[in-house]
Amino acid sequence: MFEITNQSFFEQICNFIHHDQENVHTIPISFLEQFTIEQLDNISTILANKNVDIKQCINYVKVYFMKAFSEELSQQWQLHSNDQEKLQNVQNLYHYVKSQGHIQILRSLLLHEMLQLTLKLDMVKEELF
């Protein structure tokens, strides 16, 4: 990761992404992984001002999500959490993703996981259907 705060740097990156708007969904993960959450937010804001919704780019969402929720998604946390804790965690992740307007497939995957956990806990929630 690098600590670049120069706004013109981000403007240039966004100009490149905006210029290739049809391929915004193919931004390489390896490129996006180099940025901090704050830098990714900055890129998202600049692109939103150019009417480009990078939150619909699966690679952007994957990288952002993994950085923002690295602890909650860690294998260590998963191994030491009970199903009730996992359900609460997935619900939190789902509400975050939904509130941020991230791509539908991620919301669907989290919803599916919530459904699986509620069934496992024998506490079916009708609102998940």
What single letter denotes the amino acid at residue 10?
F
Q: What is the mean pLDDT of residues 94-101?
A: 83
Q: What is the mean pLDDT of residues 67-80?
A: 84
Name the residue among 42, 71, 39, 59 with its Cα closest to residue 102: 59
Q: Is 64 exposed, middle or buried (0-12, 13-18, 19+ CB in 10 A)?
A: buried
Structure confidence at residue 110 as a pLDDT band (50, 70, 90):
confident
The half-sphere exposure of 4 on its side-chain side, counting CA atoms within 13 A, is: 16
Q: What is the mean pLDDT of residues 3-26?
A: 68
Q: What is the pLDDT of residue 129?
A: 55
